[in-house]
């Protein structure tokens, strides 16, 4: 395997572990420039990236590379000098440019106007009994936006294709109606847009921009929960669009009636159009999805391998996809098709990682340590600023990592009320969208929780 292939395989793994925004930021324009005596040298575009990779991602990078080749013992990052490649040029680099162009993040792009990612289409969306109604509704909307189902509200659990389907609808509308202004926006982005419009007193122009849209796609609308001011602004935008027969497409992880703290009038708007869910894919559909994902990457999987994976991953299409990516990496590395044993090992490892799942006390201990506090201080009712924040972070992690119930979390912290736990969770959840430093802190804490 060439260094380029090695790096591609490692990137495939890293991509599964970090957000795509971070992945692109830190790993774009990186490459392995040499691999000798267990030492891998990775070139990076600038000193900023170098520092980040060394400080934040080194462990992850090492683990990815080491899992691909146990001989790898050391990683060094160097800043890419234009002539470095020439100096190091050897037979490894024959296909260098070719391979680089095939790297995943260069294949897809997000349109700046619409925010749509061209990787999501109807042609690569597998339809089965679990999603056929949602698919049919979305397809109908893409042919007659604003005329058939308005709003179109699609709900379902994580990793089951909501974002894919609503983006595919947007992409299809752009294709069919070149004059229509389509806009995809995550609810988190919308919320922070409202917040900054208020702060800068630009609410009118903010709303005006939205009113000019022909097709508005709002993803993960459950995040409007409890945000009254944003709901109010959205309500007005919704009405303005709706009255002009503009299409509104919404996704959520649950139906409108179970989104907490959603104003009644917005709830009834959401329920006024087409409400459809995506449930879990059945066995045959999971096989079809695996085949398609493998086929996209020119990997042929034997029936027993497909069946084994489909039997063991039932609830999340993203995980099916991740498994295929790892099998592709294996195929590139070993130059042979992965068999059932390889698949078994892979899933066993994945299960181990999951089950290595942490415990509440480990999280509390790690957070206390991270912020240089005593555990018992973290658990007290103190309102001191230097304690309040870490305590919120701890509560947030108990929920996000272990899915602890809010009453349980409240009890852990000296019998606090469950509403405090909910408040803390939502506060941190929101803050990490806007505050990169906090997001970063939480990432490091998580790494310690799982690695320590
Ligand atoms: P959600 O938004 O529901 O959390 P996503 O739309 O992000 O889920 O889907 C997760 C991953 O699974 C994406 O990479 C998506 O392309 C893929 N996926 C989901 N549903 C399908 C499907 N029916 N056919 C093909 N790929 C799918
Ligand atoms: Mg989604």
In tens, the pLDDT along 329-346 reads 888 888 889 999 999 988
Distance 251 CA to ligand 2 centre (A): 8
Residue whose CA lies nearest to ligand 1 atom number 9: 161
Place of tokens 């999805």: 289
Cβ(353) – ligand 1 distance below 6 Å: no
Measured at the CA of 182, the angle between CA 216 and CA 293, to 5 degrees, comes to 95
* Residue 7 to residue 4: CA distance in whole angstroms: 5
Please report the atom of ligand 1 found closest to the CA of residue 278: 3
Find how far residue 45's CA is from the centre of its chain. 25
Q: Are strands 39-44 and 31-36 parallel, antiparallel or unpaired?
A: antiparallel
Rounded Cα distance between 199 and 221, Å, is 22
For atom 19 of ligand 1, the residue with the nearest CA is 161
241, 236, 279, 212: which is closest to 152 by C-alpha? 241
Cα–ligand 1 centroid distance for 392 (angstroms): 32
Q: At what angle are helices 20-27 and 3-17 packed, to 10 degrees? A: 150
3-state secondary structure of 159: coil
Q: Are 248 and 211 in contact (CB under 8 A)?
A: no
Q: Quick one: pLDDT at residue 357? A: 66
**Nearest-ligand number for the alpha carbon of 157:** 1
Nearest CA to ligand 1 atom 26: 125
Neighbours of 240 (CB within 10 A): 16
Mutate which of 161, 250, 276, 319 for ligand 1 pocket (most atoms within 8 A of beta carbon):
161
Name which residue sits closest to atom 23 of ligand 1, judged by CA. 126
Nearest protein Cα to ligand 1, atom 4 = 159
Ligand 1 centroid to residue 167 C-alpha, Å: 10
* DSSP letter string, 242-277: HHTT-EEEEEESS-GGGSTT--HHHHHHHHTSEEEE
Closest ligand 1 atom to residue 167 Cα is 6
Question: Are the beta carbons of 304 and 341 closer than 8 angstroms?
Answer: no
Q: How far is the CA of 219 from the centre of ligand 2 (A)?
A: 7
Q: State whether the beta carbon of 160 lies less than 6 angstroms from ligand 1.
A: yes
Assess contact for 133 and 216: CB atoms under 8 A: no
Residue partners of 336: CB distance under 8 A and separation at least 6: none
- Structure token digits, residue 32: 């392995």
pTM of the shown model = 0.64
CB atoms within 10 A of CB 283: 12
CA distance 405 to 148: 40
Report the alpha-carbon distance of residue 394 to residue 341 in Å, rounded: 39
Q: Are 445 and 393 in contact (CB under 8 A)?
A: yes
Q: Given this model, what pLDDT does residue 196 score?
A: 92
* Ligand 1 centroid from CA 126, angstroms: 9
CB 318 near ligand 1, within 6 Å? yes
Q: How far apart are CA 47 and CA 178, in angstroms?
A: 43
Distance of CA 156 from the midpoint of ligand 2 (Å)? 10
Lookup: tokens for 42? 């990775």
Regarding the beta carbon of 344 and ligand 1, being less than 6 Å apart is answered no
Whether the CB-CB separation of 293 and 328 falls below 8 Å is answered with no
319 pocket-lining for ligand 1 (C-beta < 6 Å): no
112 burial level (CB within 10 Å; 0-12, 13-18, 19+):
exposed
Separation of first and last alpha carbons in the chain: 32
Nearest atom in ligand 1 to 220's CA: 2
Q: Are 413 and 391 in contact (CB under 8 A)?
A: yes
User: pLDDT below 50 — which residues of the chain?
Assistant: 83-106
- Say how far apart CA 42 and CA 414 lie, in whole Å: 48
440: part of which helix (H) or strand (E)?
helix 436-451
Ligand 1 atom 16: residue of nearest CA: 164
Q: Is 125 in the pocket of ligand 1 (CB under 6 A)?
A: yes
CA distance 326 to 206: 43
Which atom of ligand 1 approaches the CA of 127 most closely?
23
Mutational test site, ligand 1, from 317, 319, 324, max ligand atoms within 8 Å of CB:
317
Token pair for 350: 């994945």
Q: Which ligand is nearest to the CA of 318?
A: 1
C-alpha distances out from residue 257 to 99, 159, 251, 269, Å? 49, 21, 14, 11
- Distance in angstroms (rounded) separating the CA atoms of residues 50 and 72: 19
CB atoms within 10 A of CB 255: 17
């Amino acid at each position: 395997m060439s260094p380029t292939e090695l790096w591609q395989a490692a990137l495939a793994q890293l991509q599964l572990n970090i957000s795509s925004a971070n992945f692109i930021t830190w790993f774009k324009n990186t490459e392995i420039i040499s691999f000798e005596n267990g030492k891998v040298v990775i070139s990076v575009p600038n000193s900023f990236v170098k520092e980040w990779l060394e400080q934040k991602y080194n462990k992850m990078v090492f683990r990815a590379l080491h899992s691909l080749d146990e001989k790898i013992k050391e990683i060094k990052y160097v800043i890419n000098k234009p002539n470095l490649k020439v100096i190091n040029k050897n037979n490894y680099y024959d296909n260098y440019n070719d391979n680089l162009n095939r790297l995943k993040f260069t294949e897809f792009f997000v349109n700046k106007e619409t925010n749509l990612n061209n990787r999501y289409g109807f042609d690569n969306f597998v339809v089965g009994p679990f999603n056929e109604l949602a698919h049919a509704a979305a397809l109908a909307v893409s042919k007659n936006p604003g005329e058939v189902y308005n709003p179109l509200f699609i709900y379902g659990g994580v990793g089951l294709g909501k974002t894919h389907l609503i983006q595919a609808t947007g992409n299809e509308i752009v294709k069919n109606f070149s004059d229509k202004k389509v806009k995809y926006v995550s609810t988190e982005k919308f919320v922070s847009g409202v917040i900054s419009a208020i702060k800068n007193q630009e609410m009118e122009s903010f709303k005006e921009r939205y009113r000019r849209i022909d097709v508005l796609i709002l993803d993960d609308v459950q995040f409007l929960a409890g945000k009254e001011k944003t709901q109010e602004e959205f309500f007005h935008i919704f009405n303005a669009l709706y009255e002009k027969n503009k299409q509104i497409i919404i996704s959520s992880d649950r139906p409108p009636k179970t989104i907490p703290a959603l104003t009644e009038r917005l709830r009834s708007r959401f329920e006024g159009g087409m409400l459809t869910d995506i449930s879990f894919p059945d066995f045959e559909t999971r096989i079809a999805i695996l085949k398609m994902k493998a086929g996209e990457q020119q990997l042929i999987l034997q029936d027993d391998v497909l069946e084994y994976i489909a039997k063991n991953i039932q609830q999340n299409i993203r995980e099916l996809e991740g498994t295929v990516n790892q099998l592709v990496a294996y195929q590139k590395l070993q130059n042979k098709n992965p068999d059932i044993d390889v698949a078994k090992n892979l899933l066993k490892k994945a299960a181990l990682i999951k089950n290595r799942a942490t415990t509440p006390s480990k999280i509390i201990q790690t957070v206390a340590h991270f912020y240089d506090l005593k555990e018992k201080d973290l658990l007290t009712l103190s309102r001191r600023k230097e304690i309040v924040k870490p305590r919120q972070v701890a509560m947030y992690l108990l929920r996000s990592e272990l899915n602890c119930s809010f009453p349980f979390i409240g009890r852990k912290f000296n019998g606090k009320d469950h509403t405090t736990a909910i408040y803390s969770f939502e506060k941190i959840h929101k803050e990490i969208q806007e505050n990169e430093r906090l997001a970063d802190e939480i990432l490091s804490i998580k790494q310690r929780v799982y690695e320590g």
